[in-house]
Structure 1
Amino acid sequence: MHEPKSARGTPFEVFATFLKLGLTSFGGPVAHIGYFRAEFVERRKWLDDTSFTDLVALCQFLPGPASSQVGIAIGFARAGWIGALAAWTGFTLPSAIALILFALGLAHSAQLIHSGIVHGLKLAAVAIVAQAVWGMKTSLCPDRLRAGIAVAAALIALTVPSAAGQLGAIAFGGIIGWRMLTLTHLASAKHRRYGIGRTQGAMLLAVFFVLLALLPGVAGWTGANWLAMASVFYRSGSLVFGGGHVVLPLLQASVVPNGWVPNDVFLAGYGAAQAVPGPLFTFAAFLGAVMPAPLGGWIGGFAMLVAMFLPAFLLVLGALPFWETLRQRDAIQRAMGGVNAAVVGILGAALYDPVWTSAVHSRADVALALAAFGLLVVGRVSPVIVVALTAIGGWMIGA
């Protein structure tokens, strides 16, 4: 392993650096990784290229928001535990505040949710989820077996349209991948030390699994609605593989059927989340802000934001001491290959229901969604510009 490097920075330095990234990092997790490399490897030299690449590989292996997890680990390496919190806060706060303000705007103007602009945001969500499926099927389903897993997962998710169906599809993909996939064995590698021992890592992972197992039961036993809501967001943050877009079906299957968030509000918020910088997981702040009492508003937005990102903290900092052991296990690599293929199928099912069925009602809607998809995939136009153009197009259709 590389020799440990002491945390030479301050939490404020970490916060200020990540706040700048949180205000300017558009384009999704892949783009975020590019911004991080330019800032922390090339410009500030907080870590070398090998350590950065290794950290990115770990965070793509784990469930959760990969770019945020990379940031948390960099903040920890620079300024310890408070540095990790400072990195997450700086990177997440701008988009969370913007989405909570949007949620408050919807709450104070009942007509806004039925406006053409919001309808345009829902059509933007159609194009963006379609782009995600289009890109993920190439990288995560490169052979017939994984393509078959994706199709089967989509059928399971459509047949059992609930969180249970989606979790069943993920389990199915993991089992098939473990038993049937053939992957090249990864060579051993050296890793940078981050100052977390195996005992600390094991404790963090134990807390992660205890919360994942016990939160639903405790929520049911106490009857506390806010705890049930927090449990849903914690579970979604714990089980999202393949990028932020996959959080959409997991959350929608829980918050909409329970009556916590209307489906048209859900999709409008998801469309708006594409137009802000930072991690897509800050969509949780929007949902928390539009939820009924005892949540809602600023308190609900920040509470669900914490519930959504807590698994990312526990997983990335807990897994760092065990990364070499994890990556060397072929069975884990095969299972993850199957899980990632299943994720493509789940997202494809979500593209139809609820995204398409809730947003597309006319030929004009189809045309606008298709134009947005073409701008994203063929024209490679920034999602921010596409969302803005689609909102204007929705307003014109409504007018």
Structure 2
Amino acid sequence: MTSLVEIFIRFFTLGCTSFGGPAAHIGYFQQAFVQQHKWLSQQEFGNVVALSQFLPGPGSSQVGFAIGCHRAGIMGGITAFTAFTLPSVALMLLLYFVGLEFASSQTFIGVVTGLKLLAVVVVADAIATMAKSFCQKLWQQVLAVITACVLIFTPLPAMQIVLLMCAAVIGRVCFNASGTNGLIPALDESEKPRTLNWPMFVLFALLLIAGVLITGGSAIVQLIKDFYVAGSLVFGGGHVVLPLLQQAVADTLSQSEFLVGYAAAQAVPGPMFTLATYLGASILHNAPVLGAIAATLAIFLPGFLLVSAFQPVWQSYASNSKIAGALAGVNAAVVGLLLAAFYQPVLVSAISGWLDGVIALIGIWLLRGLKVPVLVLVASFAGLGVFLAQLS
């Protein structure tokens, strides 16, 4: 199996089953590509997740893109993005053409309910595994808990960046290079540190400036411009993009049309940024497929340009002992970010009663204790969700 074909199959499978939002997606990636397939180490995965939290754009999709690049270069990243996003894009287009009858069917609701419960299991497993690697010291454990508590009680997008920057400072102060247990290798002095990928960064900046300054143009140009700017300014995940998109489409779509698209994005697997698929089709209603594709690519593009620009220097710095402490603090804070996301929205949206809690605990035992494959759990939880939906 060639690398690109393997990447497509792995990410397409995840794209079909990854309900639960960005935290759940990161959990699925960690379970699949670190634990199962060993495409990258826990440390490399943690560094990629940390980078995605610092940059604007769709966090979990950026992680998937970076994993694909790590596996097979830029084509691997493009393949990973295409495969992971394709199921969601196809479903959003389907819902646009046929309405929300499919999304409101009892069977589909049951599948979504079951897979949301599985998201609780997968995210809990990812938190436990990452905490074992990144929270070995007491100061790292305290930092992770404080980060989670602050984000739970102050869920502001800017707060995430502030906490990560504070974690970098704390890590630099508290870090003891002799206590890393080999998790962060020292940089080989003969290896020249890589630098920022300037062409990608310049392209990102030029497109953003053009999107802000250029006015007028055809409907397709306006659509691409608005969605690119929105994707360039979003920190904190899919829900944060809502006000930016709502402002961008206010002149062309009604409030009710926008909310229908938002509801559809909540009902499908994969990244929530595929709300752009539905909105693009609605805005360019004379050519809905073209509008959907253009809006989707435009909103994802800035995040991927930034990952391509910063990943080389980020990975180089991750191996530099002089700033390994800062990254150790950031990785501990990332565990806190996942803890906060585990509570809201994963846990809050999935657990509605004692039975849901029991099912989730059994799932955690099956995954961590008995090592049941995730695909088996996907089928089991989806079937269980349908069964419970029929009883209600």
What TM-score do the two structures reach when normalised by structure 2?
0.67
Q: Does 1:312 align with 2:313?
A: no
Q: Relative to structure 1, is the Cα distance of residues 132 and 319 closer, same or farther in structure 2, using a 3 angstrom cutoff?
A: closer
Query: Which residue in the other structure is 2:24 paired with?
Result: none
Query: Counterparts of 1:352-371 in structure 2 under 5 Å?
Result: 352-371=343-362
Distance in 1, matches of 2:387 and 2:335, equals 33
Letter in 2 for 1:327: S
Distance 1:256 1:366 in 2: 30
Q: Which one of 8, 18, 21 corresponds to residue 7 of structure 2? A: 21
How far apart are the structure 1 equivalents of 2:224 and 2:328?
35
**Which of 144, 147, 151 is equivalent to 1:150?**
144
How far is 1:61 from its partner? 8.8
Is there any run of 5+ residues in structure 1 with no aligned partner, and where? Answer: 1-12, 39-51, 77-83, 240-249, 274-282
Cα distance per residue 1:193-212 (max 9 Å; x no partner) = 9xx986xx46247538958x
Q: Which residue of 2 aligns with 1:141?
A: 135
Deviation for aligned residue 1:390:
1.4
Cα 1:370–1:68, aligned 2, differ >3 Å: closer, same or farther? same
Cα 1:343–1:268 change in 2 (3 A) is farther
Aligned to 1:72: 69
In structure 2, relative to structure 1, the CA distance for the partners of 1:358 and 1:197 (3 Å cut) is closer
Report deviation, 1:192. 7.7
- Where structure 2 has 5 or more consecutive residues not aligned to the other structure, the ranges are 15-27, 53-61, 217-221, 247-257, 285-290
**1:178-327 matched pairs, under 5 angstroms:** 178-184=172-178, 186-189=185-188, 201=196, 203-204=198-199, 207=202, 210=205, 215=208, 229-231=227-229, 233-234=231-232, 250-255=236-241, 268-269=267-268, 272-273=269-270, 283=271, 286-291=274-279, 294=283, 297-317=292-312, 323=316, 327=319
TM-score, normalised via structure 1 length: 0.66
Distance 1:231 1:124 in 2: 34
CA distance in 1 between partners of 2:263 and 2:113 (Å): 9
With over 3 angstroms needed to count, the CA separation of the structure-2 counterparts of 1:318 and 1:192, relative to structure 1, is same
Measured in 1, the distance between the counterparts of 2:160 and 2:294 equals 29
| Equivalent pair of 1:59/1:69 in contact (CA under 8 Å) | no
Question: Could you tell me how far apart the structure 1 residues matched to 2:194 and 2:166 are?
Answer: 34
Give the distance between the partners of 2:80 and 2:174, measured in 1 at CA.
39
Amino acid of the structure 2 residue aligned with 1:189? D
| CA drift at 1:36 | 8.2
- Please name the residue that 2:368 is paired with: 377
Alpha-carbon offset, residue 111 of structure 1: 4.0
CA distance change for structure 1 residues 28 and 170 in 2, over 3 Å: closer, same or farther? Answer: same
Q: 1:106 to 1:345 in 2, by over 3 A?
A: farther
Aligned to 1:142, the other structure's residue is in SS state coil
Distance 2:374 2:356 in 1: 18
Map Cα deviations across residues 62-118 of structure 1 (whole Å, 9 max, x no partner): 724567436436655xxxxxxx3x333334323322222233344435244442122
Distance (Å, rounded) in 2 between the aligned partners of 1:347 and 1:254 = 17
How many residue pairs were aligned? Answer: 330
Q: 1:60 to 1:220 in 2, by over 3 A?
A: same
Shift of the alpha carbon at 1:289? 2.5
Q: Residues of 2 paired with 1:137 and 1:98: CA distance?
A: 31
State the alpha-carbon separation in 2 of the partners of residues 136 and 58 from structure 1.
Answer: 8
Q: Does 1:87 align with 2:76?
A: yes
TM-superposed deviation, 1:122: 2.0
Give CA-to-partner distance per residue, 1:21-80, whole Å, 9 cap, x none: 321466625644689888xxxxxxxxxxxxx98x9599659724567436436655xxxx
- Pair 173,62 (structure 1): closer, same or farther in 2 beyond 3 Å: closer
Q: 1:154-173, aligned counterparts within 5 Å?
A: 154-173=148-167
Report sequence identity in percent.
22
Give the whole-Å Cα distance in 1 for the aligned partners of 2:80 and 2:339: 29
